[in-house]
Amino acid sequence: MKVVLENLTKIFPSRDKKAGKEVVAVNDFTFEIPDGQLVGLLGPSGCGKSTTLYMISGLQKPTSGKIYFGDDDVTELSTENRGIGLVFQNYALYPHMTVKQNILFPLQNLKGKDKLSKEEMLERAYEAARLVQIDELMDRKPSELSGGQQQRVAIARALVKMPRVLLLDEPLSNLDARLRLQTREEIRRIQKETGITTVFVTHDQEEAMSISDVIVVMKLGVVQQIGKPQEVYDNPTNLFVAKFLGTPPINVLEGKVEGGKVYIGSEAVLEVSGVEDQEVFIGVRPEGLEPNENGAFTCKLNNLEVMGRDASVVSTHESALTPVIRAIISSDIKIDPAAETVKFNVKPHKFFLFNKETEERIYFEVK
């Protein structure tokens, strides 16, 4: 089932009449989520990702714009009638019910032509439980389960109604690091197996990048970029997106373009064409800096962190806007940790220029 968002906008009136400012939580969001894909809505706190999800679910009504499931306009439809499965951050299982009763619960309220016999309900509940691998735990109460198991019950409960669309709001944030990793892979597996179009909200870029077919990066209610995770990482449209994706984060510096050369301080680090002379912000991915004794870009060496296969060269530069300049290199490359400076060459496809006022990307060709 494809999901179409058309000029979707949500404006919350001001709570405080004196302050008088309304909040544009989501601003003119248009996007077609292809059938069967997992889309990660990503952005910092307050960027409007949950509001977008709530509008898709029907829990919140858009101020303007339309939502379609397939060809059906569902904008005015209530949550119950949209055929969605919802999973929230706090699993909200009924504590006095067993796992089985929790999963059966949504089926017991079905009416009319959707009404199921007891056998059919049980069959569906066990099918959903098997999918999330909790069918051995059906007689336990939620308090007798681990956090990850509870979250799987919540997912089974969302799946049991065979939703047209699955909506997940930060479903992993209550889990510890190891469980997060495991559960996110589980969510991906379940999503692939069921082929249900899924929207997943998270502020964790690594999480979104690792499981999504497509990510949507949002900032202050406005969509910044939509694309496959790797494409967005490789080709950020502005400085915000470049900074938001990547661990360790991109190195950001001030610089200038003059006579076809990009300067950081007094050093010309790359020759480019197609860019007018101007001051710029420069972003270099940590894997875009190659140590070379004749390198064009000189930094003050702080320290060297060897982490098995890779090493992290931590340095500083007076033009840097990030506290350090970090380079990730193979640990086979030898660097003298006692040296005062380290020189790098930059890899052009890991090196981005941004307009100093708008922070939009400036595209260039390498000479």
Residues that bind ligand ATP (CB under 6 A): 12, 23, 25, 43, 45-51, 203
Instruction: Quickly list H helices, the chain.
Output: 49-57, 99-108, 118-131, 147-159, 177-194, 205-211, 229-234, 239-244
Smaller CB separation from ligand ATP, 202 or 251: 202
CB of 113 to ligand ATP, least distance (A): 35
Smaller CB separation from ligand ATP, 49 or 157: 49
349 DSSP assignment: G
Smaller CB separation from ligand ATP, 25 or 138: 25
The two most distant CA atoms of the chain are separated, in Å, by 77
Q: Is 284 helix (H, G, I), strand (E, B) or coil?
A: strand
330-336 long-range contacts, Cβ below 8 Å, gap at least 24? 331/306, 331/307, 333/291, 335/291, 335/301, 335/304, 335/311
CB of 164 to ligand ATP, least distance (A): 23
CB of 211 to ligand ATP, least distance (A): 18
Q: Which residues contact 91 (CB under 8 A, 6 or more apart)?
A: 142, 150, 151, 153, 154, 174
CA gap 149, 170 in Å, rounded: 16
In terms of Cα–Cα distance, which of 177, 153, 168, 144 is closest to 38?
A: 168
CB of 185 to ligand ATP, least distance (A): 22
CB of 205 to ligand ATP, least distance (A): 13
CB closest to ligand ATP, residue no: 50
Smaller CB separation from ligand ATP, 51 or 315: 51
Smaller CB separation from ligand ATP, 169 or 186: 169
CB of 344 to ligand ATP, least distance (A): 36
Smaller CB separation from ligand ATP, 12 or 94: 12
Smaller CB separation from ligand ATP, 55 or 269: 55
Smaller CB separation from ligand ATP, 202 or 315: 202
CB of 273 to ligand ATP, least distance (A): 39
From residue 129, how far is each of 140, 157, 354 by CA, in Å? Answer: 13, 9, 49
In terms of Cα–Cα distance, which of 160, 158, 147 is closest to 114?
A: 160
CA gap 157, 87 in Å, rounded: 9
CB of 149 to ligand ATP, least distance (A): 25
Smaller CB separation from ligand ATP, 45 or 294: 45
**N-to-C CA span, the chain:** 46
Q: Exposure of 321 by Cβ count < 10 A (0-12 exposed, 13-18 middle, 19+ buried)?
A: middle
CA gap 354, 206 in Å, rounded: 23
**Across the beta sheet with 289-291, what order do the strands follow?**
289-291, 341-346, 297-307, 310-316, 325-330
Cα Rg of the chain (Å, integer): 25
CB of 59 to ligand ATP, least distance (A): 11
Question: Which residue in the block uniquely carries the two structure tokens 């389960």?
Answer: 145
